[in-house]
Amino acid sequence: MDKHKTIFDTTLRDGEQTPGVSLTNEQKLKIALQLDKLGVDVIEAGFPVSSEGEKQNVRAIANEGLSLDICGLARVLTKDLDACIDCNVDMIHTFISTSDIQRIHTIKKSREEVLSMAVNAVDYIKDHGAKCMFSAMDATRTDLDYLIEVYKAVEEAGCDIINVPDTVGVMSPSSMYELIKSINNEINIPIDVHCHNDFGIAVGNSLMAAEAGASQIQVTVNGIGERAGNANLAEVVMCLHSIYGAKTNIKTEYLLETAKMVENYTGIHMPANTPIVGDNAFAHESGIHTHGVLEKSDTFEPGIMTPEMVGHKRRIVLGKHAGKHAVKKSLEDMGIETNEEQLDEILARIKDIANRGKRICDADLRAVTSAVLGKN
């Protein structure tokens, strides 16, 4: 895999298309500032033609002087492109359906018409001095020869980067690899991928696209987006860094705070077992695991990814699977010393409480410990 990949975040556009999510302009600006702090390369700030409010918001973000590039989304229609140009964005992401199913049933255009509309849009964007990304919507269900013909035509027209959207998330990691390889063999401009998560493999598909030569990956914070969402930013970035040895500009220590901000603003809650940024991502309960981790953290953690790397904390959880080492460590953290006999008794009482289906919190541990120490 190439050593460096750029990250294009579409939380504010595809992410906001999550059913039930609507962000205020203030929240969108705060998310944009956070993504800048995180080190994202490009953000898709919105779809300016969709409403006057959206347009004002994209313009406000574009005028904020952030270090990342601001992109606006536009169909290949002049009114959409003009709305982006009015917002003063750095990049315009223009798209049109290329698959037969979408072309025939939604836009009702012939293949020739689609190709010429795409080329005209790219010409228009370049005449207005913005960077241009072109998406063949539903690329992964488009006839490959025609898809390559369209990408070649937009490259010829001066497009800066092409996007390959897996619009309805139907690719497998190996088919994504093959598709990106085939496109890469024919096209000389950079390739970006946009994978949807309908089968839960958007991250895997994005990584295989990156292996096949895509240099930019589209993501959203917490994987939010249309239907089952998009590839998850934290997961894509940490896999690239820790598993593939690739680099991005992401300052991974801000991943958790970014995820929490978006969780808060969108109301889309992350399950505790969410990789990397979930509450349990670095939590240990069973006696065997906590004993190992307290001795050396890599025994039951990946090691190539630590909680500190992603702004998280390791947590030892007391529950019915807890062991002596976990209880001892929790008590030490509270500044409490016990002898072996007391520790055994505290552990027994903790397990007893947990076996009755209760979660153990610090107050429970303190109460149990006081009772045991008072008794002895």
Binding site residues, ligand KIV, CB under 6 A: 14, 95, 135, 137, 163, 165, 167, 194, 196
328-351 as b/e: b if 16+ CB within 10 A: bbbbeeeebebeeebbebbbebbb
Q: How far is the CB of 137 from ligand KIV (least distance, A)?
A: 4
**Does the footprint of Zn ion cover residue 166 (CB under 5 A)?**
no
As a whole number of angstroms, the distance between CA 163 and CA 194 comes to 7
Q: How far is the CB of 135 from ligand KIV (least distance, A)?
A: 4
Q: How far is the CB of 225 from Zn ion (least distance, A)?
A: 6
Is residue 40 within 8 A of residue 9, CB to CB? The reply is yes
Q: How far is the CB of 216 from ligand KIV (least distance, A)?
A: 13
Specify the stretch interacting with Zn ion by CB under 5 A; choose among 8-16, 206-214, 291-299, 334-342.
8-16
Q: How far is the CB of 167 from Zn ion (least distance, A)?
A: 6
Nearer to Zn ion, 202 or 317 (CB): 202
Contact of residue 285 among ligand KIV, Zn ion, none (CB under 5-8 Å per partner type): none
Which helix (H) or strand (E) covers residue 16, if one does?
Answer: none
The Cα-based distances of 160 to 47, 80, 190 in angstroms read: 20, 19, 7
Is residue 48 within 8 A of residue 77, CB to CB? The reply is no
Q: Write out the binding residues for Zn ion, residues 38-67 only, by CB under 5 A.
A: none
The Cα-based distances of 344 to 118, 138, 326, 339 in angstroms read: 72, 61, 12, 9
Which helix (H) or strand (E) covers residue 81, if one does?
Answer: helix 78-86
Is residue 166 within 8 A of residue 196, CB to CB? The reply is yes
Q: How far is the CB of 298 from ligand KIV (least distance, A)?
A: 38
Nearer to ligand KIV, 57 or 135 (CB): 135
Nearer to Zn ion, 197 or 258 (CB): 197
Specify the stretch interacting with Zn ion by CB under 5 A; choose among 1-9, 12-20, 62-70, 177-185.
12-20
Q: How far is the CB of 126 from ligand KIV (least distance, A)?
A: 19
Phi, psi of 301 (to 5 degrees): -135, 160
Closest CA to 161 of 184, 127, 138, 195: 184
Nearer to ligand KIV, 204 or 225 (CB): 225
Nearer to ligand KIV, 167 or 206 (CB): 167
Contact of residue 312 among Zn ion, ligand KIV, none (CB under 5-8 Å per partner type): none
Residue type present at position 240: L
Contacts of 200 (CB under 8 A, 6+ apart): 228
- Site for Zn ion (CB under 5 A): which residue of 8, 12, 14, 73? 14
Contact of residue 278 among Zn ion, ligand KIV, none (CB under 5-8 Å per partner type): none
Q: How far is the CB of 267 from Zn ion (least distance, A)?
A: 21
Nearer to ligand KIV, 137 or 208 (CB): 137
As a whole number of angstroms, the distance between CA 58 and CA 13 comes to 10
Contact of residue 80 among Zn ion, ligand KIV, none (CB under 5-8 Å per partner type): none
* Position closest to Zn ion via CB: 14
Strands (E) in the chain, as ranges, are 6-9, 42-46, 69-75, 91-97, 131-137, 161-166, 191-195, 216-219, 283-284, 315-316
Where do contacts with Zn ion occur on this chain (CB under 5 A)? 14
